[in-house]
Amino acid sequence: MNYKIIDSKDIPTCFDVVETATNVIVKTFPLYQDARKFLRHLNLGGAFDGWTPMFMVKKFPIPKEKVAPTI
């Protein structure tokens, strides 16, 4: 799996979809179900296979010590 869901650090009630290889936030969702659908789409090959171009990401890499465990 090239992507995972973590609790958003910016918005406590939201969920971030993070690319595991580069640790960048691809997209943020207010509902876990929507984040899960997007995560599944990405992990089944619906995007860049874990190497999303930087101009398409929501946020740049977050420090490893701030990454929450995978849900």
Cα gap 37→33, rounded to integer Å: 6
Q: What is the pLDDT of residues 13-67, one digit of tens each?
A: 999 998 888 888 888 999 999 999 999 998 888 766 656 776 666 655 555 555 5
- What range does the domain containing 8 cover? 3-60
Instruction: Measure the CA angle with vertex 9, ends 4 and 15; round to 5°.
Output: 45
Residue 23 lies in a domain: yes
pLDDT given for residue 5 in this prediction: 95
Residue 46 lies in a domain: yes
Residue 70 lies in a domain: no
- Say how many domains are in the chain: 1
Residue 33 lies in a domain: yes
Residue 66 lies in a domain: no
